[in-house]
Each structure stands twice: as C-alpha cells, then as structure tokens.
Structure 1
Amino acid sequence: MDSRIRQHAETIVDHSVDLQEGDRVVIQVPKEAEDLAVALHELCGERGAIPIWLAHSQRASRAYLRAGGEEYETPDHQQALFEETDAFIIARGGPNVTETSDVPPENNAAYKRAVRPVQEERLSKRWCLTQFPTSGHAQLAGMSTEGYENFVWDAVSLDWEAQREFQAQMVDRLDAADEVRIVAGEETDIRFSIAGNPTLNDYAEKNLPGGEVFTSPVVDSVEGSVYFDVPLYRQGRKIEDVRLTFEDGEVVDHSAESGEDLLTEILNTDDGARRIGEFGVGMNRAIDQVTYNMLFDEKMGDTIHLAVGSAYKDTVGEGNERNESAEHVDMIVDMSEDSRIELDGDIVQQDGTFVFEEE
C-alpha cells in the first residue's frame, strides 16, 4: 500500500473527525478506494472505534434513479443507521465520473427531496468528505493517473494549523461585517447582507482538503447579477458559463452556455433552490487548477463561490432565517483579475490579494 494512503487515513481519523474509542463509524467509499477503507479500518481497530463499510456504487445509483421515476420514499432504515452513528467518513472515487449523466434531472431532484431528512441527520454528526484518486477523476481533470494521485495527496497533506491561522484573518473580517459586495469583470456585481450570520473556517475538518471560509447570506438580501466563469460538474454533466440575476434574494433570471436544462431543473427542485445558501471564499493556493471536482475547485485561491440551495445550520445566526432546500450547488467566480470583495464598503481583496497580505 502506498504510504500516502495511510497518511491520508491518519489525517481523516486524527484531524478531520477526531475519532475516539467507542465511536460508531460509517465508512462510505467505492470499491476502487478499498486501500483507503483498509487503512481506515486498521486505524479504527487501533483507536477502539467500531467501523462499518458501505460500498457506494455510481452504477447502482444510476440504475435505481433511472428506474424509480419521480417518486421516492425516504429510506427510514438508512436514517436509523445514521441516527446510531457518531462519525461518517465518505470518499469519492470511481472509474466513470459520467455514470449518472443520463439520469433524468427531475428523477434526481425527486430523490434529493426524499433523502433530505437522512442528509440532515448525517450533517448533524461528525463527518468528513474526501477524495480517493482514481483514473476516472484523473481523466476528468485532464491529468495522468500518477499526476492526479500526486495532486490529491499533496492537497490533503497541508499544514492545516498554518492554513487555519491564515484563513482566520478573513473570518474575523467577515464576522465584523454586515454587507458583502462582489465585483468581477463587467458582468458580476452582487451584494447581500451577512449580518448576524457566523463565518466558519474550513481547515480540513468536514472537507479534506479544506481551504475556504464560508457563511450564509441573509435569505432575502441578495441583489444583482453574477457570472460564474469557472465550469462545474454536476450529475455527471458539465455546466458552463452560468449567469444568475437576483431580486429580493431569489433567482429571477438564469442562463448557461451548456447544461442550461440541468441548471433549470436544479433551480426548480424546490423554493429554496432559487436562493443562496452559502457564500464562500477560496483560500487554498495549493489548489491552483480546475479539476471539475467541487471538493477541490471551491477551495482554489483567488476565487469565491455561491451555492444555490440549503444553508448549513452553523452559518445561520439566532433569529435569522435559514434557507432550506434539497439542493446545494456551488458555483465559482475567478477573482484573480479585475475584481474585488468589499465588506461594508471597504475593499478586503483586490485582484486576488487580501489586504492582510500587504500589512
């Protein structure tokens, strides 16, 4: 076994989920990530935790979603398992990243609505989402298999305490601010309130790799237009050049150069899917290229992202409304040129450089 797989597992266990003796652990990884599952089980044995492995299959998911139509029952038996679980470890990876590309978007939206209570239960526990490098994701990223392995393991093995301290400077500024304005190029000028909503510092706990700070806009406060110039991959399909216009917090106009039908289905999932649930700032400069994997792409330095759909509970302050949805879809704006982030009218980042980097 590659020693970096053991190191990856140790980071998950000791840093991300802080595994303790007696913890009941669900390890959900595909068969292609069996080496990671083995390393995690070994560490569970050393720590006195109790693991169970759920082998996720995109082929099986595709078969179910294509056959199931637009009506699904909430899987209560899965929810019961999650209620009895202390920590979740989930790794992506697989041979074919486009496996679910021919699942009708309306089927996928219906399924997401059905499993929403299960996902809420999982998110209430300690959890970590990570990536195991496979040839399918390497091909999507335009890399050799070896090159992608190096990319992933370099990204998950940063000095996370140093990254936390760097990001904390932005957290402090966001927590002290009421209004955010994002300006980029000629098409993005959007503003919203974050008053009363706390900012979280992601330094590889729930996401591995980490490298962002994020909060939630006040639900009805989002105004303006935004052009997402970084493409995204969703449901096995690419969505490019997304443009959204907001009034009173809601998407009132949208378009995409490719994947617009899928974007429309996402926005029609439920009422909350037309509102922003997350505003994040990418601060991990070790991730410096688009790989069409949002776990990495949203952390890229010199970017911001907005997610249509659900807001994380921990990013909504007491007395503020939480946006709720079965969807949560992140979209990215490149902030490296002709751009700025303003907090209460003061520029905190200009063309990718934070003010605290110049102090």
Structure 2
Amino acid sequence: MIEVDLGEIADKVVNQCMKVEEDEVIQVNGGPHNFDMIEEIALSVRKNGAFPVIKSNSDSLEKKMIEGVDIDYLEKTPEYYLNWLDDIDGVIGVDHQRDPRQLSELSEEKIGAKRRGKRKINDKFQEDNIRWTGIGYPTEEKAEMYGIEYEDFWNMFWKAMNTDYEELHEEGKSIADEMRGEDEVHITSNKGTDLNFSIEDRRIIVDDGIIDDDDLENGDVGNNLPAGEVFCAPLEESAEGEVFFDLAFYKGNKIEGITARFEEGKIVDVEADKNGDVFNEVLEHSHGDKDRIGEFGIGINPEVNQAIGYTLTDEKIMGSIHIALGENRSFGGENESTLHWDLVMLEPTVEVGDKTIIEEGVHQI
C-alpha cells in the first residue's frame, strides 16, 4: 500500500482547495476511523490563523439516531444549526461512514424524513455562499462491500486525491469550452443507451478540486474530493430516451443492470437485473423533483482506473459519464428535491452539437 502523508493532503485541502484565510471559522467533520486526518485538517486550518470546529459522527450513531428517533423529530430542521451557519465560513467533511452496510436495513421512510429536515440547511449553504469540500475515505469494509482488494482501493483513492490539480483544470477547461454555447447532447452506448437532452444556456462547471473566486461569483461553493469532472444541469424537461447503468450502491445494497426510460425529463420506467425494488423505494420516499434529470457529468481524473460502485470515485473515471436525478439548484438548475443521486455509465459515446466529445469511453478533445 502506498504511504499517505495526511499532513500534506490536509494542507492541500485547506490551502489549495478551500483557500482558508485568517480569522475564518471552518467546521471539520469526520468519523472515529479517520480522526487522524481530521486532526491534520484542523491543525492546518489553525496554522492559517483560522479556527476549526470539529464535529464527529459514526455508522453506529447514525443508525441509532434513525432507528430510535420518531419520524416527526427526524424531519424537524435544527434551527440552532441554521443560526450557527451565520458564524462559519466553510465546512470540510471527511466521509464518516466506515461500513455503509450497517445502514442497509434502515427504513427508507425515516431516511427520507431526515433528508427533509436537512433541506433548509442545504439551501442556506447555497444562499450564503458557504464553501464546502466533501472528502471520501477508503476502508476495508467498503472494499469488501464493493468487491475490490483493500490495497487496490486504498492506492486508487489516494492517487486520485493526489492528482495534479492544474492538469485537471486544463483537461476540464478544454472539454467545457467545447460544450459552452451548445444545445443538444446525444448519449449512446453498446448496452442500449440512447438518450437526448438539452444544455442550452446552462452553466458548464469544471470540478478541479479548487474553489476559486470565479466559482464563488457563479455560486459554485462546493466540491468533492477526489475531484475531476465537468458537469452541468440539463434543461429539466428535455431528456428523452433510454439509459443503461451497470451498477449503483445504496445503503450497502448493490443495484445491477439498471435501465431507465425518460420522457419530458422524467423517469417513467425503471428496470434492474438485481435490487430494482431498492431503486424504486429510494424514489418513492424522496420528495420534490426526485425523478427528473438533474445533472450531466463527464469524468476527467486519470488516476481512477476502475468502477467499483463507490460513486465518489466512479464518476471521476476518465471517459465515464454520470446522470443524476433530483436536486440541482446549486449549479444552475431548477429542480428542488431531497434527492441527488449520481448514476455512472462506462464507455459511452457523447455527442454535443456536431462534436464527438467521447467515443466508447475515450476522450476525443
């Protein structure tokens, strides 16, 4: 396994990605299994003359809080936290989940209630331009769930985290430049995908791991790490056709062979070879524009070399694309929903206007 200098990574996140400044207040989130990384991030924040506030969670606590709390309380918004957000400048969150399978049997109705309770909080991040960075974290339990050797998962993840952000920016910019000013997008694959939608007049965003002044001016206040995608919000009523996704995971449940049909931007039919009921249950207990196309993204991180079901890395695979359902207001869309679900497709062919951007998973730009 490659050695990881958590202090170096923390400095990169704090100084390059978040650009933390003196006297800012930065909330740092994580779990017991990655607290060594939380410590390094907090230290880096403090060395910048800013003030870290640490918030911790765990699989077992999250499970108990959902199972043991009445649904009416789960969907209540914590008003104190809305007030707290007035006093902070950013949030850096490291994935607190060690083993998502612990949540697999939880009531989707109660999870939906919890999402509704957080809705005003998510809106406030956007309204007040509160910067955020969400960071994944590889664990042995996740590797077992995804069916990958832990060493391979660990190495791929940290290589993707340490990719050259300047090169990522240039790669993303070249694709974004080809997409800007275009209208129609046509996606096909040898597994049955044939989908059309419009991106006319929609903002094209490069997720290169850095939140700069231009991002903040455009309302792009957050990013995920590992970074590496170009994305936008399609016109919400424009998607027509079928799309095939190899796999998705939800609460530790593997959903395989997903075929979804869109009409006027909405999913009207979903079939899956395995656990299709899980997919439909997620939609059933989500609210708002949960079944509308919300995002189109193109992966550009050269260090992610295989799809395993971990969306945070899968959607960054060079030459992959992802289609998301639901919420998209933070990047220029109009969907309002408690759900945002990225679904990844491998080896697509993507045409934007009269240009082929990707051909069978290979970038043409």
- Establish whether residue 340 from structure 1 lines up as the match of residue 349 from structure 2: yes
Name the counterpart of 2:184: 179
Name the counterpart of 2:290: 273
**Conserved? CA contact 1:223–1:247, under 8 Å:** yes
* Equivalence map 1:1-359=2 (5 Å): 4-71=5-72, 72-123=75-126, 124-205=129-210, 206-229=223-246, 231-268=247-284, 269-316=286-333, 322-335=334-347, 339-356=348-365
Task: Give a deviation string over 1:149-207, Cα, whole Å, max 9, x none.
Answer: 32222111111001110111110111121111101125211111111111100112311
Letter paired with 1:21: E
CA distance in 2, matches of 1:120, 1:262: 27
Q: 1:4 to 1:147 in 2, by over 3 A?
A: farther
TM-score, structure 2 as length reference: 0.90
CA distance in 2, matches of 1:252, 1:314: 25
CA distance in 1, matches of 2:42, 2:82: 23
Task: Give a deviation string over 1:30-70, Cα, whole Å, max 9, x none.
Answer: 01111111111211221011111110112111112223354
SS where residue 191 of structure 1 aligns? strand
**Conserved? CA contact 1:93–1:134, under 8 Å:** no
CA distance in 1, matches of 2:7, 2:138: 14
CA distance in 2, matches of 1:83, 1:297: 34
- What is the CA distance between 1:260 and its match in structure 2? 1.8
The alignment-based identity, stated in percent, is 27
Task: Return 5+ residue gaps in structure 2 as ranges.
Answer: 211-222
CA distance in 1, matches of 2:345, 2:141: 25
**Conserved? CA contact 1:105–1:262, under 8 Å:** no
Query: What is the number of equivalent residue pairs in this alignment?
Result: 346
CA distance in 2, matches of 1:119, 1:8: 26
CA distance in 1, matches of 2:35, 2:55: 11
Letter paired with 1:224: G
CA distance in 1, matches of 2:331, 2:97: 31
Q: 1:198 to 1:220 in 2, by over 3 A?
A: same
- What is the CA distance between 1:97 and its match in structure 2? 2.3
CA distance in 1, matches of 2:202, 2:225: 24
SS where residue 149 of structure 1 aligns? helix
Between 186-195 and 255-264, report the one with greater CA deviation: 255-264
Letter paired with 2:26: V
SS where residue 144 of structure 2 aligns? helix
**Conserved? CA contact 1:140–1:291, under 8 Å:** no
TM-score, structure 1 as length reference: 0.91
Letter paired with 2:341: V
Q: CA RMSD in A?
A: 1.8
